[in-house]
Amino acid sequence: MSDFNSSGFGNTVATSGSQVRNRVLRNTYALLALSMVPTVIGAWLGVAMGFTMFEGSPFMGFIVFMAVAFGFFWAINKNKDNGLGVALLLGFTFFMGIMLSRLVGMTLSSYSNGATLIMAAFGGTAVIFTAMASIATVSKKDFSSLGKFLFVGVLILIIASLANIWLQMPALMLTVMVLAIAIFSAFILVDVQRVVNGGETNYIMATLAIYLDVYNVFTNLLALFGIMGGDRE
């Protein structure tokens, strides 16, 4: 059973370093699982309400999304050592669920096998997460040096995605999706190992990082499956 209040809400105190790492990792996984609940609720509400904000202006939508997301990041980091941090994290995952609803709604409405595609993307994400987390837990190799290269990769993905708003190149879009899946899968490896090795002792911040990795793997898998295997209505 996870102890969400071992010492404050984000930090964990134990009698040895290994106990600290194990408890932080356990709490991180528990909070990550909990964070999926508001994500699913947000996605369901967004689909039910036909969420289409900034559909005609994707660049403006991107700016608003980044502003809200970074506002959450700042607030979560500010309150990472108290209960408000958990509440803010769950609020952020609800917001991300609403953002996800457009992709989910489009998949369900555009493809006769939309529900199957969503389940396939969920299953693929679960397999990737399990594989990367297992490697991070048992491997003796230090993957922390990958972080800087992966961060540069994310910046390139953002630039390419923004450019494709105007270029509308299918090949570039597919390339971005495949690279995003690879980059954020590797980020799961790095972020989980950081907890395992004691580099991250605050499970709220650890959950936020891993949640973003998983979210990006899922969304890109779903979009890719829709393009590659979707049956048009």
Q: Is residue 7 part of a domain?
A: no
Q: How far apart are CA 148 and CA 151, in angstroms?
A: 5
Over residues 60-104, the pLDDT tens digits come to 888 889 999 999 999 999 999 999 999 999 999 999 999 999 999
pLDDT of amino acid 20: 81
Q: Which structural domain range is residue 123 located in? A: 17-229
Confidence of residue 155 (pLDDT cuts 50, 70, 90): very high
pLDDT of amino acid 19: 83
Instruction: Determine which helix (DSSP H) or strand (DSSP E) holds 206, and give its type and residue range.
Output: helix 203-229
Q: Is residue 98 part of a domain?
A: yes
Q: Is residue 2 part of a domain?
A: no
DSSP 62-104: HHHHHHHHHHHHHHHHHTTTSHHHHHHHHHHHHHHHHHHHHHH
Q: Is residue 69 part of a domain?
A: yes
pLDDT of amino acid 192: 96
pTM: 0.89
Confidence of residue 9 (pLDDT cuts 50, 70, 90): low
Q: Is residue 45 part of a domain?
A: yes
Q: Is the pLDDT of residue 13 over 60?
A: no
- Cα→Cα distances 224→35, 44, 104, 180, Å: 24, 21, 13, 11
Residues 6 or more apart whose Cβ sits within 8 Å of residue 169: none
pLDDT of amino acid 194: 94
Average pLDDT (12-36) is 83
Mean residue pLDDT across the chain:
89
**Residue 172: strand, helix, or coil:** helix
Q: Is residue 142 part of a domain?
A: yes
Q: Is residue 11 part of a domain?
A: no
Q: Is residue 8 part of a domain?
A: no
Confidence of residue 59 (pLDDT cuts 50, 70, 90): confident
Q: Is the pLDDT of residue 132 over 80?
A: yes
Q: How far apart are CA 102 and CA 226, in angstroms?
A: 13
Average pLDDT (110-122) is 94
Indicate the number of domains in the chain.
1
Vertex 197 angle, CA 84 and 3, to 5°? 40
Answer yes or no: are the C-beta atoms of 81 and 8 closer than 8 Å.
Answer: yes
Q: Write out the two tokens for 139.
A: 């491997």
pLDDT of amino acid 167: 86
